[in-house]
Amino acid sequence: MNTFSPNMRPIIRQLDDSAINRIAAGEVVERPASAVKELVENAIDAGARRVTIELADGGKTLIRVTDDGCGMSADELPLALSRHATSKIDGSDLLNIHSFGFRGEALPSLGAVGRLTIQSRASGEEAAEIAVAGGQMVAVKPCALNGGTVVTLRDLFYATPARLKFLRSDRAEMQAISEIIKRLAMAEPSVGFTLRDVSDGKDRTTFRADPCSGDLFDALRGRLAQVMGGEFTDNALNIDAEREGFRLTGLAALPTYSRGSSVAQHLFVNGRPVQDRLLLGALRGAYADYLSRERHPAVALFVDCDPHKVDVNVHPAKSEVRFREPGLVRGLIVSALRHALAEAGHRASTTVAGATLGAMRPEPSGPPRVYQMDRPSQGALSAAYRAQAPMTPAAPYQPYEAQAPRPAEAGFAEFAGSFSGRVDPVEDSPKGADEALPLGAARGQVHENYIIAQTGDGIVIVDQHAAHERLVYEKLKHQMAERGVAAQALLIPEIVELSADDLSRLLSIADDLSRMGLTIEAFGGSAVAVRETPAILGEVNAKALLTDILDEIADFGSSQLVQEKIEAILSRVACHGSIRSGRRMRAEEMNALLREMEATPHSGQCNHGRPTYVELKLSDIERLFGRT
């Protein structure tokens, strides 16, 4: 509310350091997790190999960070509590930043809103201690410390009690701190982290990650297994790609190992954890063809580049970045992830089999039973198989093959032939030849929907409709990539009025939209004329489509909406043109489907991200029957 009066001119005043620090603390320290982040980043920048974080009451009453870094001398302690005093940059180049911190704001801000004590000892120096409470500093004094630094922050926000009302429960604050530590642990695999809760006089270790050694991927996989779990690393693909000075490394999970939210998406730029809309939009675009909008991929991706190509000084918490060439970074992420997913072929996540076994395992009732049955010899097995084999009729009975193929069957034969030349009858092959293939040899069909195949060390259960749907979809995409997206010219161009900013954003991606069949051009003023739309979409509400594209650009920095709509149509076409559930298949048809799955990228999941097959190892099946 403006209270200015012509008779009362406001006077410009210089705020004192205490008020300045409290204002800065409002930007840098939002909650206990923010304080922990700043202190742990300082420890890492100091070269620490082990960092211990102790908390009480969710960090509200106590935060203590102990490290074995280089430490500080007694003369440096007062300077460390001064605003904009830092050892990480010299001020000559604000883009050449190789450390987590560089502003010199964290320690004075924490000292302005809490009771801060710093104990430190540099190599060859005596240990010293300094304290500050509510912005009031006391003199440096000697202390006992072997090396490194111990920073203790008590009673956070006691000097600004109004901020305490905005804090959440101790459990929620503790969870936020744990997430911060886990992200920093992923960024620094060679550093050990221990998080302890010392509330109520107890001492509970809530998170621990020991230092990991080895090459890039060995150390990273070891740390991600500690933080995100072994299931993630077992079902993740190595990502390593480079383009024009930008390098992308990390791990990205298979589509069938997806989550219901984005909690398992971790992105880093030059080792710094970030929440960047450009990177998140690129990640969404890379998986758009393999997951529905309700599912989210699990990734830990690291973008590294010359510090001059990215500005990290755009947010007080340094959680956002700005790239000089955002399109190059986005293209690198999308192409690298799609290439890795394509190379994975028909592979599905191991959790699919685990979930299947969990569903099949009977509920325990009483003590485990002891089975005395030994495994029979190979000769005994062969004799048993011969005894159980059906009698061969004099004239082979072919109740199904003799029938004239229905249209759906003819369509599948034509489709299988389009991939592999033709569908030949199954001939006698050496025992185990097909079983040596990844998806094995078809042995039967149950409920006219699931193909049972035998592999060398287990069985595979295939959802025939879902699998064929993916195969047809990939074929349609390949055909469209070769022939281009057919555009439909509008008899009367549709004129859409936009704001000047929206018009500029749309025209900047006009060439990309044209390649997808959507042709637009400036029409004077802030209007745009839509002259062509993708033919496959049929009748299009051009204004609504452009509005959705602009919304996506605002959210993610780019738009894949037109491509997603076209792919959604292709997906529906593939669904309707695929083998239906309830359709009986001949042995050669089933084997043809298995072979094409092995040869087609992404065939391990359907167009919606669900698995197309489940593989069960013989050892798992035997365990179900107690044959262990």
State whether CATH 3.30.230.10 applies to domain 216-344.
yes
Beta strands in 505-557 (DSSP E): 519-522, 527-534
Residues 6+ apart with CB under 8 A from 259: 295, 296, 297, 298
User: How confident is the model at residue 293, as a pLDDT?
Assistant: 73
User: How confident is the model at residue 548, as a pLDDT?
Assistant: 81
Residues of the chain with CATH 3.30.230.10: 216-344
Architecture of domain 432-628: 2-Layer Sandwich (3.30)
Which class is 17-91+98-207 in CATH?
Answer: alpha beta
Give the span between the Cα atoms of 415 and 401, in whole angstroms: 18
DSSP codes joined into one string, 440-501: -EEEEEETTTEEEEEETTEEEEEEHHHHHHHHHHHHHHHHHHHH-PPEEEEEEEEEEE--HH
Is residue 326 a contact partner of residue 557, using CB atoms and an 8 Å limit? yes
Strand (E) or helix (H) holding 94:
none
Distances (CA, A) of 496 to 255, 423, 510, 526, 534: 38, 52, 15, 9, 17
Per-residue HEC secondary structure of 573-606 comes to HHHHCCCCCCCCCCHHHHHHHHHHHHHCCCCCEC
Nearest CA-CA partner of 343 in 420, 238, 264: 238
| Positions in the chain whose pLDDT score sits under 70 | 1-9, 15-28, 84-104, 314-318, 346, 348-433, 555-564, 567-574, 576-578, 580, 628
User: How confident is the model at residue 353, as a pLDDT?
Assistant: 61
User: How confident is the model at residue 298, as a pLDDT?
Assistant: 92
Give the span between the Cα atoms of 73 and 127, in whole angstroms: 7
User: How confident is the model at residue 22, as a pLDDT?
Assistant: 63
Strand (E) or helix (H) holding 306:
none
User: How confident is the model at residue 43, as a pLDDT?
Assistant: 93
User: How confident is the model at residue 561, as a pLDDT?
Assistant: 67
Residues of the chain with CATH 3.30.1540.20: 432-628
Is residue 348 a contact partner of residue 604, using CB atoms and an 8 Å limit? yes
